[in-house]
Structure 1
Amino acid sequence: MTTTSNTLTNLREVGGPGLQHGRRRTVYRANTDPVAPAAYPAGLAAVVDLRRVDETDAVPHPLAATPAYRSVPLFDPASAIESAAEAVHLEDQYTDWLDRHRSGIAAALRTIATADGDVLVCCAAGKDRTGIVSALLARHWGADLDAVGADYAASAAGLVERFAAERAASTDPVATAIGHRCVPEIMTTVVERVERRWGSVDGYLRSIGLRDEEIAVL
């Protein structure tokens, strides 16, 4: 029997405390667990679920039946793989995703931009796919690299129990440990790579097809 709770362990505002103060809406980030709907902020205009369809079928989102719910898989179904074999460490995986899954990233950001109210962005753990979208948003909003890194690393505290269970069940402890890394330098490295290649996060957003007016309403 599946039990639910009112606690969502990796729920917080994108960018850290205060970054979104005064904005017309708040964008939250979170993991996905079988929690009660009351675990989420009230009145969400959009719930952007970045998980694959097989993931959402296996663990339906607690808000899937609400009008706000949107399934927006970040991993492009047209891509045969999620990341290149040589992209072992998270910094390299995330960098690979920026190219390989640009259509999913663009779709997620467009969904956020068009929402008329507060938004939740989520994936399984709320760290990797959600981390990429959150970092792009936070940097677009003017967060410095330290803040972007701190927001990413804050997931570590919320995922202690999940990661412990995954370690206990893992048949590849080395790969599991790599996937569990959650330190600021991972995301600051990725953002620095974005800005070297595209000039800025906004430059990257334009490269994946977002129009200036769509970027402006983010």
Structure 2
Amino acid sequence: MTSPRWIRLDGAENVRDLGGLPTVDGRRVQPGRLIRSDSLQQLSPADVRLLVDELHVRAVADLRTGVEVAAEGPGPMTAEPAVVVKHLSLFPEAGDTTDAVRADDESAPVVLPWQSRSDDASEDERRRGVAGVYLRYLDDRADSVLATLRLIAGTDGATIVHCAAGKDRTGVVVAFALAEVGVTREAIVADYAASGERIEAILRRLVARRTYANDLTDPDSGTDYDKHRPKAQSMQRWFDAMDEMHGGAPAWLRAHGWTDRDAAALRSRLLD
């Protein structure tokens, strides 16, 4: 297995280049093509220059919801003329910059869309646990999954895919991209779980911000790091569910409008 290619930044904790991951036919993902990350909101000027000038980032797929984007404000990468930033939420959007709840009242805790979702989860979703949550993303926003993969395939440079922590939403979309080009399931699961190595630092950064503090901190017990740590079995169960329900991740993509031309462009972009 290839060790994670961590990228050290001042303003983010969970950033790695997916170059080097192996495919089932013996090829490798090329470095400098696909980077996954937690929030880019606190990038320093030096971070931005590293990403744009040295790592040649030319596109960002921001998977955060409209509520998060509105609460956090414009991030540093949005000011870079060489970089295309696309907001591709995995939750239903109620407007251009909101999901179900607005975040304009700065005196109140931000209510994030997923905080009310457990009440209407199906029995199957509850049974599947974290994998069930991931499947819900696909029911809600197949368009965002395909748009992100097309952004990766069409970008002449590196694409960053990120959400807040860079583990759940990012993990699912990255898994699609890697599975589609033939990266081994073992490598995809290991990459997903690698975010657990940085979970304490990731969450410490998030709980210090109004947007996420209410979601991640229990008034009595504080932040449960292990609860939020991504575990290999969660991604394995997601893959098993995709096989059972859709015939696999690539078959799901094709059932939702992904074409052979899309697939060829993604393979050409990511592989050696």
Flag whether TM exceeds 0.5 (same fold): yes
After TM superposition, the structure 1 = structure 2 runs for residues 171-186 of structure 1, keeping only pairs within 5 Å, are: 171=219, 180-186=228-234
Bigger mean CA offset, 111-120 vs 38-47: 38-47
Assess, with a 3 A threshold, how the Cα gap between structure 1 residues 205 and 37 changes in structure 2: closer, same or farther: farther
Tell me the equivalent position of 1:149: 189
C-alpha distance in structure 1 between counterparts of 2:36 and 2:174, whole Å: 7
Give the alignment partner of residue 76 of structure 1, picking from 92, 99, 106: 92
| Counterpart contact for 2:36–2:160, Cα < 8 Å | yes
Q: CA deviation at 1:22?
A: 6.1
Q: CA deviation at 1:118?
A: 1.2
Bigger mean CA offset, 204-213 vs 125-134: 204-213
Q: CA deviation at 1:158?
A: 1.9
Tell me the equivalent position of 2:137: 97
Count of equivalent residues: 213
> Structure 1-normalised TM-score?
0.82
Q: CA deviation at 1:53?
A: 2.0
Tell me the equivalent position of 2:269: none
Tell me the equivalent position of 1:66: 80
**1:65-106 superposed Cα distances (whole Å, 9 cap, x missing partner):** 123122222223168675552434211100222222212212
Paired AA for residue 42 in structure 2: P
- Structure 2 SS opposite 1:159: helix
Paired AA for residue 86 in structure 2: R
| Counterpart contact for 1:146–1:184, Cα < 8 Å | no
C-alpha distance in structure 2 between counterparts of 1:209 and 1:161, whole Å: 38
| Counterpart contact for 2:200–2:225, Cα < 8 Å | no
Tell me the equivalent position of 1:124: 164
- RMSD of aligned Cα (Å): 3.0
Correspondence 1:54 to 2:67: yes
C-alpha distance in structure 1 between counterparts of 2:191 and 2:46, whole Å: 24
Bigger mean CA offset, 34-43 vs 115-124: 34-43
- Structure 1 SS opposite 2:187: helix
Q: CA deviation at 1:175?
A: 11
Paired AA for residue 110 in structure 1: R
Q: What percent of counterpart residues are identical?
A: 30
Assess, with a 3 A threshold, how the Cα gap between structure 1 residues 55 and 206 changes in structure 2: closer, same or farther: same
- Structure 2 SS opposite 1:170: coil
Correspondence 1:210 to 2:226: no
| Counterpart contact for 1:90–1:178, Cα < 8 Å | no
C-alpha distance in structure 2 between counterparts of 1:168 and 1:206, whole Å: 36
C-alpha distance in structure 2 between counterparts of 1:174 and 1:136, whole Å: 33
Bigger mean CA offset, 95-104 vs 119-128: 95-104
| Counterpart contact for 2:150–2:262, Cα < 8 Å | yes
Correspondence 1:45 to 2:93: no
Where does structure 1 lack aligned partners over 5 or more consecutive residues?
A: none
Structure index of larger Rg: 2
Q: CA deviation at 1:62?
A: 2.3
Tell me the equivalent position of 2:6: none
Q: CA deviation at 1:28?
A: 0.5
Tell me the equivalent position of 2:15: 11
| Counterpart contact for 2:20–2:29, Cα < 8 Å | no
> Structure 2-normalised TM-score?
0.67
Q: CA deviation at 1:172?
A: 8.5
Correspondence 1:85 to 2:121: yes
Where does structure 2 lack aligned partners over 5 or more consecutive residues?
A: 1-8, 101-112, 208-212, 267-272
